[in-house]
Amino acid sequence: MIRIQKLNKSLHGGGQKVNIINDLDLHIPAGQFIAITGPSGSGKSTLLGLMAGLDSPTNGRIFLDGKDLTQLDENQLASLRGQKVGIIFQSFYLIPTLTAYENVSIPCELSSGNHSEEKAKEALNSVDLSHRLNHYPGQLSGGEQQRLAVARAFVNNPKLILADEPTGNLDSANSQIIIDLLEKLHDQHGITLVLITHELDIASRAQRVIGLEDGRIVSDNAS
């Protein structure tokens, strides 16, 4: 599903070069639930952004479902994300002036527009928010907002879900609800799930846990 080869990402500031990702190689098979852990500044979120095609590497290659992301332009990357990738962020990134139903419908409208109403309602039902479809994000609790973000990520039946600290803004009870939900959807649909987290108890739910430090893989329990 994902193959990363000799990946590097560097930033320049104040006359200095800072290496964020260092010569990283990684293979994630289709259907695997993987957690990537590490301290702040280890490169976790940068790596996820590179996997999503939201950022470009300094050098190296990233293959997503056989396509080399480094060879695609912005329009091609956007099209690929719309068809195959769902992204969940720590800060939800919901549109406050749109209802829950309208927020979830956006990916459908952007990709094809086909059956968007039916798909949005199914997605909301899958996260137990069918009774909230006409509510605005500001009328929802933090846990409900993140469940809404999960529904939006899954609505187009993507092959890959990238979740960047999806429990970071939630209390322990809601964190467990979100992880239970992600695990259930992964099991039901066989989606490849990459979860970024600094919480080891959350990471332990994954089939495979990778430790990242200074942009390098320092542990991987893949057998």
Q: 149 CB contacts (<8 Å, ≥6 apart)?
A: 88, 89, 92, 93, 94, 166
What does the pLDDT read at residue 102? 93
Is the pLDDT at 119 greater than 90? The verdict is: no
Q: Residue ranges per domain, the chain? A: 2-220
Per the prediction, the chain carries an average pLDDT of 92
Is the pLDDT at 92 greater than 90? The verdict is: no
pLDDT mean over 169-196: 92
Give the model confidence (pLDDT) of 32-54 as tens digits. 999 999 999 999 999 999 999 99
How far apart (Å, rounded) are the C-alpha atoms in residues 176 and 162?
A: 18
Query: What region does 182 belong to: left with phi over 0, alpha with psi -120 to 50, or beta?
Result: alpha
pLDDT mean over 78-87: 91
How far apart (Å, rounded) are the C-alpha atoms in residues 205 and 80?
A: 28
pLDDT mean over 199-205: 92
What does the pLDDT read at residue 156? 87
Three-class HEC string of 14-77: CCEEEEEEEEEEEEECCCCEEEEECCCCCCHHHHHHHHCCCCCCCEEEEEECCEEHHHCCHHHH
Is the pLDDT at 223 greater than 60? The verdict is: no
Percentage of residues in the chain with pLDDT exceeding 70?
97
Q: 180 CB contacts (<8 Å, ≥6 apart)?
A: none
How far apart (Å, rounded) are the C-alpha atoms in residues 2 and 26?
A: 8
pLDDT mean over 87-92: 89
pLDDT mean over 77-95: 90
How far apart (Å, rounded) are the C-alpha atoms in residues 90 and 164?
A: 6
Q: Is the pTM of this model over 0.85?
A: yes
Using 50, 70 and 90 to split pLDDT, how confident is the model at 112? low
pLDDT mean over 121-141: 93
Is the pLDDT at 113 greater than 80? The verdict is: no
Using 50, 70 and 90 to split pLDDT, how confident is the model at 130? very high
CATH number of 2-220: 3.40.50.300
- 95 vs 110, more confident: 95
Is the pLDDT at 132 greater than 90? The verdict is: yes
CB 88 within 8 A of CB 101: no
pLDDT mean over 143-160: 92
What does the pLDDT read at residue 76? 93
Is the pLDDT at 8 greater than 90? The verdict is: yes
pLDDT mean over 194-215: 94
